[in-house]
Structure formats: structure tokens, C-alpha cells
Amino acid sequence: MNQGIFGEISQNHLGVPVIRKLLIIMLIVYCQMSGLNDDNVWADERPATNTNDMPRESKELMFQDMLMLFLLPHIEKKIDEIYSNKLNYSPEVYPYFVNVTNVQRVNGFRGFHFLICLEVVPTVGPHIPVGKDSLTFDISPVNPNNVKLISWKHLEDPKKADFPPNWMDVINWNF
């Protein structure tokens, strides 16, 4: 018998570690039964309007995220170049603000030569968008580091309305 904080005798034979283990086991069973661990759900391509419409985890989305990590240094290099005269410092490129707009396998089935078009929204500070750009990469084993930027197009400049007053000094308004 254990004595409680007010001196009464407690009948609690289960210790805190045992209760924690039981709660964890119940949570795992719940997740298994509710399908929260299902990795075969495909991402929805419609724009998300609320949290219920957000894309769910899928193998396709995982591969796209891995590809973005691979391409991110190449994307950042070009974005730094594009915005060097528009901003007073380099913008950030987050993988989740890069959308794949087109992918093409150049030399047919199981060929390892690809063209991939991306739409990039670089940001500064607390995710303030500074523009939009389209980049096309040639991904092939014959390219140095397997990646070569073959075209780019600047789609949008920074918009003054997007910037709070304390972030106005980021933009070089003379561009």
C-alpha cells in the first residue's frame, strides 16, 4: 500500500511507467485501426482550402520532396542570381514552395534523361513572397553533377503590398 499526499492509503498498484506503456500501446493500436499509418494514400492535386483538403502523405509526394532536396542547391544558386539586383540580400527557397509543373522522360521508358520544370516562390523573413520564377532542369548522367539548368523565366517581381513596414528595407526599389 502506498501513502498518498494527504496521508491516505492508495490502492494504486500500477506505477506511472506502466500506465505510460499502456497508453502508448493503446495509441499504437488506435493508429493501426484508424489507418493513420497508411502510406498508400495519394496526394490530392486540388488547391487546399482548409485542413481537410491538405494533401496526404504518399510515395509520390515523398519522391518529389527527395527530388527537391537534391535540386535545392541548384535552384538556390539561380534564385540568388535572379534576385541579386532586386533584393538587398538573398531570398530563401523552401522545398515546399517549389511545385513541379512538368516532368518529361526524354529518351523513353526506363531512360535516365529527364526534363523537369519547376515553379519557385522565393521568400524573405517570415515567408514573405518576393516573386515567382520558372526553372527547367536537364537531369541526366551526362551532365556535371547530373543536373544542368537549361532555361529560366522570371514570372513575378516583389509586390510592395506583401511587405510589412519593418521589411521594406529588404527590397531594392531601384531595380
Name the more confident of 23 and 114. 114
pLDDT digit string, tens, across residues 40-90? 333 444 444 455 566 788 998 899 899 999 999 999 999 999 999 999 989
> Residue 28's domain spans which residues?
2-34
What mean pLDDT is predicted for residues 155-175? 88
Query: Cα(88)–Cα(161) distance, rounded to whole angstroms?
Result: 18
Are 110 and 163 found together in one domain? Answer: yes
Please report whether residue 7 resides in a domain: yes
Are 91 and 163 found together in one domain? Answer: yes
Are 136 and 68 found together in one domain? Answer: yes
Read off the C-alpha cell for 107: 529518351
pLDDT digit string, tens, across residues 103-133? 999 998 999 999 999 999 999 999 999 999 9
Read off the C-alpha cell for 15: 506505477
Please report whether residue 85 resides in a domain: yes
Indicate if the alpha-carbon torsion angle 73, 93, 124, 77 is positive or negative. Answer: positive
Please report whether residue 49 resides in a domain: no
**Identity of the residue numbered 105:** R
Which 3 state secondary structure label does DSSP give 98?
strand
Are 166 and 80 found together in one domain? Answer: yes
